[in-house]
Amino acid sequence: MAKIVSDEKLSLFVAKIFQAYGLHQKEAEICTSVLVESDLRGIPSHGVARLKRYTDGMDSGLIRADARPEIVQEGPSTATVDGNGGLGQIIGHFATELAILKAQDTGVGVVSVRNSNHYGIAGYYAQMMLKKELLGISMTNSAPLVVPTFGKEMVIGTNPISLAAPTHKQEPFFLDMATSVVPRGKLEVYEREGKDLPEGWAVDESGKTTQDAGKVLQNMLGRTGGGILPLGGEGELFSGYKGYGMAVMVDILSGVLSGGAYANRVYAKKEGKTIPPNVCHFFLALDIERFVDLEVFKQNMDDLILLLKNSEKAKGQNHIFIHGEKEYENYRNHKRNGIPLQEKVYQILESLGEQHNILFDISK
């Protein structure tokens, strides 16, 4: 059963956990914002449920709490950033701000990043660009959790893509999607709730579809075969090869372009020992005014959205959703009524509070 918590109290608590690892207040607030924003938008798989993943990484030394991103190559509209193994949220925020400044100066800002860690939801950074009325794109590679079409070994990541575009009267367009059928976090949610996976989400060690979330997660942990399927599902019938191709595209732009890691080189081992992950990101900010008048763009975005929403509905359906619409509604609802946290997540946070001697008071 879910517990309802205050986003403000939750934010204060999570920020104190990050500060316990030596982060400055601003850095702790950035990391916290990425996690809590995810829960507010109704994406619990990437919300505060992930906090222990980061604290475990800092405890083990795989994530360097004291690392700071640095620009290692730069042009008027481009840059490559080395994250030096730090927290992905701090690195992603730094790189996005850099892309924004370059777009405002030259019309386009393109920043690739290497040696980072998991940075949360891709959409957080696209939203940062959107707030400056830029067209924003964010993507990242990730741990190898996805099997290529016709394969049974996890070689590529869930490799998400996000694009945000401003509008006039309608809610801004906000796409935030994995290039796999689902992210790993969704499997974790199903496993915590004791639910069977829908068919076509994942395969077992033989490469055949399975509905056992626990088995898939255990196979992932032991790297004994199987994993999540690319967007489209198993084989060619529903075009799983397209999701596979999109994931490879993200690896090219994030990992190969930055001189970092890609595919199963991310979260790799050396001489049998786990080494820092080397997650890589890609950010693109476009100044719309360099292409078309901003107001014309925003009005045309409204028109496009209304064309889609007002088109004929399928039998039994009364609403066509636009990407981001549900997330905006979730955000307003959770701000007003509180964030629902799964009991297990609540208990993990409570335990972290005890471990670091931080008062745990997050109830709504």
Counting DSSP H helices and E strands in the chain, the numbers are 12, 14
Asked if residues 117 and 63 have their Cβ atoms less than 8 Å apart, the reply is: yes
Question: For position 78, what pLDDT does the model report?
Answer: 98
Question: For position 361, what pLDDT does the model report?
Answer: 94
DSSP-derived letter for residue 171 is P
Segments of the chain scoring below 70 in pLDDT: none
Delineate the domains of the chain, giving CATH numbers in brackets.
Answer: 1-60+338-364 (1.10.1530.10), 69-179+238-310 (3.30.1370.60), 182-228 (3.30.60.50)
Question: For position 273, what pLDDT does the model report?
Answer: 84
Question: For position 26, what pLDDT does the model report?
Answer: 98
CB atoms within 10 A of CB 316: 5
Question: For position 183, what pLDDT does the model report?
Answer: 83
Which one-letter amino acid corresponds to residue 261? A
Whole-number Å distance between alpha carbons of 19 and 270: 31
Whole-number Cα distances in Å, 202 to 144, 185, 207, 269: 14, 13, 9, 24
pTM over 0.85: yes
- What is the chain's Cα-based Rg? 20
Q: Which residues pair with 286 in a beta bridge?
A: 108, 135
Q: Which residues contact 277 (CB under 8 A, 6 or more apart)?
A: 62, 116, 117, 118, 143, 261, 266, 267
Question: Which of 43, 61, 53, 59 minimizes the C-alpha distance to 89?
Answer: 53
Question: For position 1, what pLDDT does the model report?
Answer: 76
Question: Which of 324, 329, 33, 326 minimizes the C-alpha distance to 166?
Answer: 324
